Chains A and B, each alone.
Chain A
Amino acid sequence: MNKIFRLTYRILVSSLDISTIGLFIIMPVGYLIIMGLMMGSIVPYMYFNGLKISYVTFIAPGVVADQILIGGSLAGWILWQDKRIGMLEQIFSLPYTRFHYLIGNLISMIIVTFAGAILMTLVAIPFISLKISILGMLLVIVFLILGTFIFGSIMLALGAVVKSNQVFNLISNIVIFLVTFASSVFYPITSETPLLLKVIAEFNPLTYVVDGIRSAYLNQIGIKDIYEFFILLILSIVFMAIATVAYRKIKLSATV
């Protein structure tokens, strides 16, 4: 087995215990059921690109897109944990390079994102009117990969620089909360959206991932999605560069 796949195996096996997987599933399913189905009685329908859809159909692509946060945060959490429990230093004393570790980590988060996205889609199918084309599937795959790279990079940079567990948990929770709720996951960003929220949502990569996946799931792909693709591509390059710099500067514990 290739070194990178061995590391991927190790990351997945050591980090995805039953309780973690349970949490990963419960939270988005909760969004889908509590927000989607129960709020559906308060918000009976929404509009997307002029298309009238049920609220659960509106938020289902958002919950699928939200998986990039779960995959991304796993990457940062793994790096942080490995630093904390001494496994990073131990792995670097094996025939592995920092590059191997970084790529293994990225592959792990992509796997987690896709597993979550497929699961959430399967859970949502009975409640939504899914109309996805082959092009739509490709777009979902590309947007999920780019989105995971962006949030994975943010979390990797965080995992690389923070020094304490509390700070890591606090910052990652703030990032996840802000990114989830200041995006188009639960409501559309329109001219009526408060200005501050609109500005944050415009700079929030999750907004573009959600819009792209929503377009794909409702077969509404248009020129706007190409524009969003390029924004996500540029952001992923920028954030990957930042994460790489932070990662390269990790100092292994210096016990004399």
Chain B
Amino acid sequence: MEAIDVRDLKVSYDKKNFVIRGISFKVKKGEIFGFLGPNGAGKTTTIRVLTTLIKPTEGDAYVLGYDVKKDGLEIRQRIGVVLQQPSYEWSLSVEKNIYVYGVLWGINKKILLERIEQLLKDFDLDDIRKIYAADISIGQRRRLQLARELVHDSDLIFVDEPTIGLDPIIKRKVLDYFKNLAKQGKTIFFTTHNLEEADYLCDRIAIINNGKIHVVDTVENLKRTYEKERTVEILFNDGNERILDTLRERIGNIKIYTPEVKGEPYKIVTYRLPEVLETINEFIKNNGYSLQWFNVKKTELEEVFLDIVGDRKNEQNI
């Protein structure tokens, strides 16, 4: 039995426009499943259906063998949910926040107090345990939200963009915490648009955009598909458009991504690296432009993601 089984799921908030447009996927027990997509892709809506906060408009979804349409309480009894939206009791201290949440879960007081001690240490909240949630930083609140959800035992944990606002050290710590939970047999459903995180954490990922799943595979398989592809990052002091035009003329089947921020390098994704390098070299010799940034790397998950999601605004296919 899968932890999650989604079959042709569709969701519409206004019964006209569908934000989820027929998605299907399965998540195995004990797996860390990454649900990737840009903002507005449908990640949170999918989580809201799977955690029974909203009902699907069409299609079916089963969580731990229970039907999301009929068995809301049974599902919610067995899952943990860290929502994207911040939520905490402003007027209570950090430790009291976790305590009250533990009471809501009906945890025995002695066990609850022991768990709180452990979670305060695990999430570096021990020093601020007596401080009101209203007075702590965004990152500390996010850690509180995560710690609070782990106060109870659950078979499946949904975490919606859990690392927003966390510094790199804490972020890694949190990701490792989830890795450990998976080793203990828990299933993690993890949404993010941070590809580095997905790469580090997830066994398999699904990439969703515009309410449609484009691919479900292991990170390794996705990278292997793009193994021979290379990404060239270039930025000239001047004449960037000219070199890009030259590349477009000479070499077919390359993708060029223009940067969103001025001063960032252009990305050229290609299977024909030698020809691209030769063209750039000739361009420099003939025109005298100087390079400000140059880098060649293997295609990473980020490029795979961009390729699959196909952000037309930044992509110029030739």
Binding site for B on A (CB under 8 A): 1, 3, 6-7, 9-10, 13-15, 17, 85-87, 89-97, 252-256
Contacts and interface: CB of A to CB of B under 8 A. Distances in A.
Nearest to B97: A14
B288 interface: no
Contacts of B19: 256
Interface in B31-58: 40-45, 48, 51-54
Interface in B44-93: 44-45, 48, 51-54, 72-73, 76-77, 79, 81, 83-92
A10 B104 contact: yes
B87 A86 contact: yes
Task: Select the residue from A85, A96, A256 with max chain B CB neighbours within 10 A.
Answer: A256
Nearest to A92: B53
Nearest to A97: B73
Nearest to B20: A256
A13 B93 CA distance: 11
Given A90-B83, A252-B54, A255-B84, A1 B41 contact: no
B318 interface: no
A170 B205 CA distance: 48
Given A93-B53, A253-B85, A256-B41, A10 B103 contact: yes
5 nearest A-B residue pairs (beta carbon): A86-B87, A93-B81, A90-B87, A14-B89, A86-B85
A95 B81 CA distance: 11
Nearest to A252: B53
Nearest to B72: A97
A10 B85 contact: no
B126 to A, nearest CB: 22
25 contacts: A3-B106, A6-B104, A13-B92, A13-B96, A14-B89, A14-B100, A17-B91, A85-B89, A85-B90, A86-B83, A86-B86, A86-B87, A87-B88, A89-B85, A89-B87, A90-B87, A91-B104, A92-B53, A93-B51, A93-B53, A93-B81, A96-B76, A96-B104, A256-B41, A256-B45
A88 to B, nearest CB: 9
Given A6-B103, A14-B91, A95-B73, A256 B86 contact: no
Contacts of A93: 51-53, 76, 79, 81, 83
Contacts of B92: 13-14
Contact of B104 (A7, A252, A255): A7
Contacts of A97: 72-73
Contacts of B73: 95, 97
Contacts of B88: 85-87
Contact of B85 (A91, A95, A255): A255
Contacts of B105: 94
Contacts of A7: 104
A6 B79 CA distance: 19
B294 interface: no
Contacts of B40: 256
Given A93-B81, A94-B105, A252-B53, 11 more contacts: A9-B103, A10-B100, A15-B91, A17-B91, A86-B88, A89-B83, A93-B53, A93-B79, A95-B73, A95-B77, A256-B44
B13 interface: yes
A1 B106 contact: yes
Contact of B53 (A87, A89, A256): A89
A94 B76 contact: yes
B165 to A, nearest CB: 14
Contacts of A3: 106
B104 A94 contact: yes
Nearest to B46: A256
A116 B81 CA distance: 37
Contacts of A10: 100, 103-104
Nearest to B73: A95
B58 to A, nearest CB: 17
A7 B42 CA distance: 31
B100 A13 contact: yes
